[in-house]
Every structure is written in C-alpha cells, then in structure tokens.
Amino acid sequence: MTRMLIVGPPGSGKGTQAARISERLGIVAISTGDIFRANVKAETPLGVEAKQYMDAGDYVPDSVTNRMVRSRLQEPDVQDGFLLDGYPRTIAQVEELDDILASTDQQLDAVLQLTADDDELVSRLLGRAAEDGRTDDTEEVIRHRLNLYHEKTEVVVAKYAERGIVAKVDGIGPVDDVTERIMAVLKDAQ
Ligand code: AP5
Ligand code: MG
C-alpha cells in the first residue's frame, strides 16, 4: 500500500492529511500545488508561467503539470512509494500518470478521496486566508476552484472508482479523527 493519491476539493484537508500519512507510512508526499508555489516564490520560469493560472484559481495547463510530475517521479526518493496530493486533476493527467507508472512497471495501490461540503470548504479556506495569505484564498477564487473541481476532477475520481481502488473518507471532524479514518480504510484495503 505505498503508491497512493489523495484527492478532494480545495480545503478538504489533502495537505494536512498527506503530511500525516507520509510520516506514518514512511513515504514521500508530493503536492503539485506546493511545487508550483515554491516555483512562484523563487520566480523560476515554471513559477512565472503557473502564477497567472493559480491566482485565478484555474488549472495550470496539463502539458506543464504533466512534465513537472513526470520529472518529480524520477527522483530517487519515490522508490519506496509516494503519496501524490493534487494530481491528477484531469483525465489527461490520469492518462499521463498511467503512462509514467506503466513505463516503470508500477501501479497505484489506492486513491484516497476526502469529502466535505462546499460551505465547510469555503469557511476553512477563508480561515486559512487570514493566516497564510495564499493568493488564491479569496471567496471568489475559492468558489471558482470548487466549481473546477466539480467540473474536471470528479470524473477523475469516477475513473479510478471504475478500477475499484477508491477509498472514500469523510473529511469532516477533528483532524486526528480524519487521520484515523484514513488509516482504517487503508488497512481494510490491504
Ligand atoms: P493546491 O495547492 O493543491 O490547492 P487546492 O486543491 O485548492 O487545495 P488546498 O491546498 O487549498 O486544500 P487542501 O485540500 O490541501 O486542504 P488543507 O489541508 O490545506 O493547488 C493550488 C493551485 O495549483 C490550483 O488551483 C492550480 O492552479 C495549481 N495546481 C495544483 N495541482 C494541479 C494539477 N494537478 N493540475 C493543474 N493545476 C494544478 O486544509 C485547508 C484548511 O482547512 C487549512 O487551514 C487546514 O488547517 C484546515 N483543515 C484541514 N483539515 C481540517 C479539519 N478536519 N477540520 C477543520 N479544518 C481543517
Ligand atoms: Mg493543499
């Protein structure tokens, strides 16, 4: 159970839970959002390109994101497994990941789907806005990110569900409780 994805709408707790799962299972957590933000901060060409999309709450084009993930998954630290946070988000990205994994004879063990209703998500992200000032945490952009998730990423979850590898976890409640729910479904899936 070492090659996994964590999927869910903005604010569902992907980053929060990914850090905990990564520690418990001893696998690296890779967040495409975090990689993009680091590049924006460092003003690399990738960051300069990604910034306009991120600030608007749009997805960075598949070609750019896919190239970045392909390269990241060639790093030595993914040998023991990985937890991808926030990728794939489109069907084209699912196909890219299938191709990356097939080329090294690997396959996904599980897709963790975190759920929470839109009102809870908006209130969490507005709460975070005050603390860490992410430029995409304004109410208008948050709503747009949520719509994009419903429009483009729910079909990604459905695609993995067809493969029988989705473990759905209720993301509402104390952070520790959500972590325990995740660990329980992962155990059941083994
Ligand atoms: P990304 O950084 O992935 O943002 P996101 O998907 O919108 O999700 P967030 O990071 O906002 O939320 P999260 O689910 O990680 O929740 P968190 O744990 O932080 O992507 C940003 C942008 O990058 C995208 O919009 C796009 O432009 C680009 N991008 C990234 N990946 C891409 C891809 N594959 N393709 C194209 N473009 C891509 O929690 C949120 C808040 O809630 C925190 O304050 C937290 O403390 C709190 N919280 C967490 N759990 C709980 C709980 N159980 N109860 C109460 N509060 C909680
Ligand atoms: Mg995140």
- Is 3 among the catalytic positions? no
What is the average per-residue pLDDT within 58-71? Answer: 98
pLDDT digits (tens, 9 = 90+) for 121-178: 999 999 999 888 899 999 999 999 999 999 999 999 999 999 999 999 999 999 999 9
- Is 145 among the catalytic positions? yes
pTM attached to this predicted model: 0.97
Structure tokens at 135: 């430029």
> Is 9 a pocket residue for ligand 1 (Cβ < 6 Å)?
no
Is the omega angle on the peptide bond into residue 9 within 30 degrees of 0, that is, cis? no
pLDDT digits (tens, 9 = 90+) for 116-135: 999 999 999 999 998 888 99
pLDDT for residue 144: 98
Using CA atoms, how far apart are residues 5 and 113, in angstroms rounded to an integer?
A: 8
